[in-house]
């Protein structure tokens, strides 16, 4: 495993400075992706900047506008156990998505920031929840961008650190459904929905994000329109080219799964709806 | 890099290069060979140890990440030659054949029982979702945990 140097700064400013000073340096959350990548020699990292000692980046707080502010190094296990998260509209959806991670040991180490960058199940859930990110980099630079936009683009810059994930307060209800690939247990296709229901249970607004396959988690407007159409009223959503093929599944098969899983997720969200 | 950690109650101070895995530090430097490297890719769970109060896969962690931490391996669960009630139950229910997976199973299940004193079958199975066994299978392991829970209550 190639790793030249490691540092575990005690403050965020020191971490940002270390990332700026060494080209190619990477921030590390739990390391559950990075260490695998280094073992496979998929990357050569001159300096790992471990965010694990930054208490300021860990934990869940209530944000100023009533939403949730989740520190980026909060582990997935702590996220889904947090009383603020469990008591919010995001609790059910995040618990569903976290359960897609392979086991308790991975959830005990993998962080929310790492899960955003990984762009898989938890990232899809965050997109359905309209989550935003607060990023910082050296020289006191700071920006805000949605998870959706970050993953649609290049991801964080090399010297940028995700400080927090921000979930706005809404009344939408969420749920996540997926089909796992039997050998590796990663999601062939996963669908996260955030839905508001009208009195009587009809779908009002619906956000749908999918993951699985080569690309990162993303929104799929055609599935949103189909979910919002009255039952029996909409034609099957057209998903040509939305899903890619790889050596485990064809894009067509993933598109079929996405239609089925969206219906299941909306049903599950409806069962959770308190109204 | 110089790190200091507690392993099974003993203080360990050691110079380690940053690319050394926690499991290798435990096996090669501390001579604790309970945790094993089955897959090296985070899938099999033979390397599970306790870090603080949570079980982790020590093949997916750098030793330097454990600086300052308290680590417990299967050797540290009870006194020399003694078994915990969970280990006793695994013995009685034939929860081990070759035994390669057992230290990891024991560490994952110890964590489960510490956070949930009466897990149902589904919770027990979820608790060993990250542990692969190639010979015993999982039925005997599940029965052993159920026995350990029943004996305690
Ligand atoms: C065997 C195995 C199977 C897994 N299967 C799944 C699965 O099916 N689905 C799933 O979702 N996850 C799975 N995971 C978990 C893992 O791959 C990631 O999803 C996990 O969330 C990574 O989190 P981390 O904190 O360990 O990331 P790290 O490995 O620390 O980092 C991953 C990437 O994110 C960047 N990064 C991390 N934190 C920040 C931050 N705060 N700011 C900026 N950049 C950051 C790093 O630079 C790196 O590029 C699996 C892990 C293992 C070991
Ligand atoms: S050796 Fe760590 S999970 Fe297999
Ligand atoms: S007893 Fe042999 S691998 Fe489990």
Question: For residue A32, what is the domain's CATH number?
Answer: 3.30.43.10
Per-domain residue ranges of chain B: 2-76, 85-152
The residue of B21, B65, B133 whose CB has the most chain A CBs within 10 angstroms, and thus the best one to mutate to test that interface, is B65
Query: CA angle A134-A137-A143, nearest 5°?
Result: 35
Ligand 3 atom nearest B135 alpha carbon: 2
Shortest Cα distance, chain A CAs vs residue B45, angstroms: 9
Look at residues A110, A139, A167 and tell me which one is the last residue of a structural domain. Answer: A167
Of A1, A103, A106, Cβ closest to residue B19: A1
Query: In chain A, which residues have their Cβ closer than 8 Å to the Cβ of B48?
Result: 105
Q: pLDDT digits over B72-116, tens only?
A: 999 999 988 899 999 999 999 999 999 999 999 999 999 999 999
Q: Which long-range contacts (CB under 8 A, 24 or more apart) does A76-82 make?
A: A76/A101, A76/A106, A76/A107, A76/A110, A76/A111, A76/A112, A76/A115, A76/A122, A77/A104, A77/A107, A77/A108, A77/B54, A79/A112, A80/A107
Substitution candidate for ligand 3 out of B43, B47, B133 with most atoms within 8 A of CB: B133
Instruction: Say whether both A138 and A41 belong to one domain.
Output: no
ipTM of the complex: 0.96
Instruction: Say whether both A163 and A62 belong to one domain.
Output: yes
Is the four-CA dihedral A150, A152, A157, A158 of positive or negative sign?
positive
- On whether the CB atoms of residues A147 and A112 are closer than 8 A, the answer is no
- Cα(A65) to ligand 2 centroid in Å equals 43
Instruction: Say whether both A159 and A194 belong to one domain.
Output: no
Give the side-chain half-sphere CA count within 13 A for B139: 0
At the topology level, CATH places domain B85-152 in DNA polymerase; domain 1 (1.10.150)
Question: For residue A211, what is the domain's CATH number?
Answer: 3.30.390.50
Q: What is the average pLDDT across A43-53?
A: 93
Task: Reply yes or no on whether the pLDDT at A153 is more than 90.
Answer: yes
Query: In chain A, which residues have their Cβ closer than 8 Å to the Cβ of B130?
Result: 102-106
Task: Reply yes or no on whether the pLDDT at B23 is more than 70.
Answer: yes
Return d(Cα A50, Cα A58) in angstroms, integer: 13
Query: In chain A, which residues have their Cβ closer than 8 Å to the Cβ of B67?
Result: 8
Residue A104: closest C-alpha in chain B:
B127
Structural domain containing residue A229: 173-271
Instruction: Say whether both A107 and A179 belong to one domain.
Output: no
Return d(Cα B131, Cα B42) in angstroms, integer: 10
Is domain B2-76 in CATH 1.10.1040.50, yes or no?
Answer: no
Instruction: Say whether both A142 and A202 belong to one domain.
Output: no
Instruction: Dump the DSSP string for A185-201.
Output: --EEEEEEEEEEE-TTS
- Reduce the DSSP state of residue A211 to 3 states and report it: strand
Is the Cβ pair B112, A104 closer than 8 Å?
A: yes
Instruction: Indicate if ligand 1 lies below 6 Å from the C-beta of A115.
Output: yes
3-state SS string for chain B: CEEEEEECCEEEEEECCCCCEHHHHHHHHCCCCCCCCCCCCCCCCCCEEEECCEEEEHHHCEHHHHCCCEEECHHHCCCCCCCCHHHHHHHHCCCCCCCCCHHHHHHHHHHHHHHCCCCCHHHHHHHCCCCCCCCCCCHHHHHHHHHHHHHHC
Q: What is the distance of C-alpha B150 from the center of its chain?
A: 22
Q: pLDDT digits over A73-106, tens only?
A: 999 999 999 999 999 999 999 999 999 999 999 9
Kindly state the percentage of chain A with pLDDT values over 90: 83
Query: In chain A, which residues have their Cβ closer than 8 Å to the Cβ of B25?
Result: none
Shortest Cα distance, chain A CAs vs residue B65, angstroms: 8
Tell me the pTM.
0.96
């Amino acid at each position: 495993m190639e790793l030249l140097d490691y540092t575990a700064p005690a403050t965020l400013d020191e971490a940002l400075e270390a990332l700026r000073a060494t080209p190619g340096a990477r921030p590390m959350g739990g390391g559950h992706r990075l260490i695998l990548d280094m073992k496979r020699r998929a990357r050569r990292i001159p300096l790992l900047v471990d965010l694990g000692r930054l208490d300021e980046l860990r934990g869940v707080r209530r944000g100023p506008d009533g939403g949730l502010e989740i520190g980026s190094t909060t582990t997935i296990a702590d996220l889904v156990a947090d009383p603020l998260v469990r008591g919010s509209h995001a609790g059910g959806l995040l618990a569903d998505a976290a359960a897609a991670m392979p086991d308790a040991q991975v959830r005990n180490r993998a962080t929310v920031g790492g899960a955003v960058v990984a762009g898989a199940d938890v990232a899809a859930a965050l997109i359905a929840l309209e989550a935003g990110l607060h990023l910082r980099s050296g020289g006191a630079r700071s920006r805000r961008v949605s998870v959706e936009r970050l993953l649609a683009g290049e991801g964080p810059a090399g010297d940028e650190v995700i400080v927090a994930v921000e979930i706005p307060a809404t009344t939408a209800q969420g749920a996540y459904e997926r089909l796992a690939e039997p050998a590796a247990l990663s999601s062939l296709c996963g669908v996260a929905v955030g839905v508001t229901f009208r009195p009587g249970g009809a779908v009002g607004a619906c956000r749908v994000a999918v993951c699985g396959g080569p690309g990162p988690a993303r929104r799929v407007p055609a599935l949103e329109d189909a979910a919002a159409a009255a039952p029996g009223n909409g034609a099957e959503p057209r998903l040509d080219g939305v899903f890619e093929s790889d050596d485990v599944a064809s894009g067509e098969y993933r598109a079929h799964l996405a239609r089925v899983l969206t219906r299941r997720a909306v049903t599950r969200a409806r069962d959770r709806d308190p109204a | 890099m110089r790190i200091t950690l507690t392993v099974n109650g003993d203080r360990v101070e050691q110079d380690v290069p940053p690319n050394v895995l926690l499991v290798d530090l435990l096996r090669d430097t501390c001579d604790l060979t309970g945790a094993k490297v089955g897959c090296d890719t985070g899938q099999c769970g033979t390397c599970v140890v306790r870090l603080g109060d949570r079980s982790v896969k020590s093949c997916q962690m750098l030793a330097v990440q454990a600086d300052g931490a308290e680590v417990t391996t299967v050797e540290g669960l009870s006194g020399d030659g003694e078994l915990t009630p969970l280990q006793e139950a695994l013995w009685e229910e034939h929860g081990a054949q070759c035994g390669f997976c057992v230290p990891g199973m024991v560490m994952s299940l110890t964590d489960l029982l510490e956070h949930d004193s009466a897990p149902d079958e589904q919770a027990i199975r979820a608790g060993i979702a990250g542990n692969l066994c190639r010979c015993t299978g999982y039925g005997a392991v599940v029965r052993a945990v159920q026995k350990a829970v029943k004996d305690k209550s």
